Chain A
């Protein structure tokens, strides 16, 4: 449809001017560091090079081969996948179940959970971590007080520590899933549900054959958004396990890359981990974009 907007375009390339400020910020502060991250990962860049005394030399793929040949990298990769996967599943289970329950609850209980969830959602990752650390503190924590296990350190063993950090991540992230899915369910026309009822469908059949297919695009978005968030968890792990746990037993890729760079001063190895992580996330993003397209959202 040839409207006035088309005429505007022909005269001046306005989008260029409008996008210029964004480009001025994003190219040097986002694009350039991305390029530098890739560059660092193929250099030999440690503390001597960072201080400026020694010129950086090209290392080729040495950082990557070192990484792929390192037992710890595979351990960290595996536990990142298990940790993120567990968080995603738990977040979806809790968020999804509560979204359904919300539709069955009275108005006041619904508002109560909504506002409680809003609080957990809003709480900064940092304060969420400190509060839960206090609750689980070895000597003065409420949990130990109630269980009568004063002196027990919950973060001492690898998997209990992961489960606790995971619980905090779920506490932070289930509200998004719950509120989004609840809004989605509410957006389904009542007439559809009534039609299913008239046709004699049971509650279970209605959920499986009517609700689920209609919510599918939303579910895909929620799943992938959760995958991306939980794969990138940093603050909770870094703070609650003080930098990755005893002997690095609670490291995830993100914290591992950061520690390699800033604690061990092996900047190029940290960058290589960052590049691998970015590649994994890009693959997930590609799925996300496809899902967005399918759900009919116009880019």
Chain B
């Protein structure tokens, strides 16, 4: 179909509106302090500076929160990839009783309002802390556990499609050649599912990286805070340090943005197939 002029300009306009807040965020983070609060806001700056980033990372301790967030997210991604892979194999390669029940439960788990679940989870983690302090309140371990649990249902659900796409004949051939079940899983299925696993991992990463409510509820000290909840500390009743807030927001957005661009092809995989032929 030939491009339509009107459609073209509308699409470009929509793109500009959509990208503008992100542009403004990065721009404000780079603006020197004087320009930020000037009465004449310009959509560019002639004196870009990294001062806001330096302040956020140094003075406000965002470097530490960044590392906390990263540590939690990486552990969640690694554990969730392994656990989800095994579960996805079970759910695609075997027919067993309650299989549909298990699947429906994974779907339902994605719908549960997790903010309400923080109420019992708060007490659970508190009690856990009396036994294992590394997993109690104000520990990164508690965030790892909770985020792992809440990223798993979606990871398993998404990974199913990727496992199903691996031809079973490959596994059968390996079995006939005398490979053990573990060898088949590890040497045959795992490498073939790896791209799907990468895409799934991005979502686990984002779930954990973006998590605000668990960090706010379970982490009570400043040392173990992660980025989203720490950002709230920047807000002061009268005068907000917008340069610092925008720099911190930029730091928080960049890794996610990068990952999204990397896996954008997989974002709608499986959904496009739902169109009737």
Contact = CB atoms under 8 A, between A and B. Distances in A.
Interface of A: 3-5, 8-9, 13-15, 18-19, 21-22, 25-26, 29-30, 32-34, 36-37, 40, 50, 98, 101-106, 109-110, 112-113, 115-128, 130-132, 134-135, 137, 140, 142, 145, 150, 171, 175, 179-180, 183-184, 186-189, 213-218, 221, 228, 232, 234-235, 238-239, 253-255, 257-258, 261-262, 267, 270-271, 273-275, 277-278, 281-282, 284-285, 288-289, 295-297, 299
Contact of A134 (B112, B150, B245): B245
A21 B86 contact: yes
Contact of A36 (B123, B156, B245, B272): B123
Given A9-B96, A126-B210, A127-B249, 13 more contacts: A14-B181, A15-B94, A25-B83, A26-B152, A26-B153, A29-B124, A30-B117, A118-B264, A120-B21, A131-B246, A183-B272, A255-B115, A261-B118
A234 B139 CA distance: 23
Q: Is the interface of B mostly helix, strand, loop or mixed?
A: helix
Interface in B79-124: 82-84, 86-87, 89-91, 93-96, 99-100, 102-104, 107-109, 111-124
Contacts of B1: 103-104
B12 A109 contact: yes
B213 A171 contact: no
B82 A30 contact: no
Given A26-B109, A124-B209, A33 B117 contact: yes
Contacts of B242: 134, 137, 140
Contacts of B21: 120, 123, 128, 131-132, 135, 171
Interface of B: 1, 3-4, 7-8, 10-12, 14-16, 18-19, 21-22, 24-25, 28, 36-37, 39-41, 82-84, 86-87, 89-91, 93-96, 99-100, 102-104, 107-109, 111-124, 145-146, 148-150, 152-153, 156, 168, 172, 175, 181, 206, 209-210, 212-213, 217, 227-228, 231-232, 240, 242, 245-246, 249-250, 252-253, 256-257, 259-261, 264, 267-268, 271-277
Contacts of A21: 82-83, 86-87
A285 B275 contact: no
Contacts of B275: 184, 187-188, 214-215, 217-218
Contact of A184 (B112, B148, B264, B274): B274
Contacts of A257: 113, 115-116, 119
A134 B36 CA distance: 11
A235 B252 CA distance: 15
A217 B14 contact: no
Contacts of A14: 90, 94, 181
A19 B112 CA distance: 21
A124 to B, nearest CB: 4
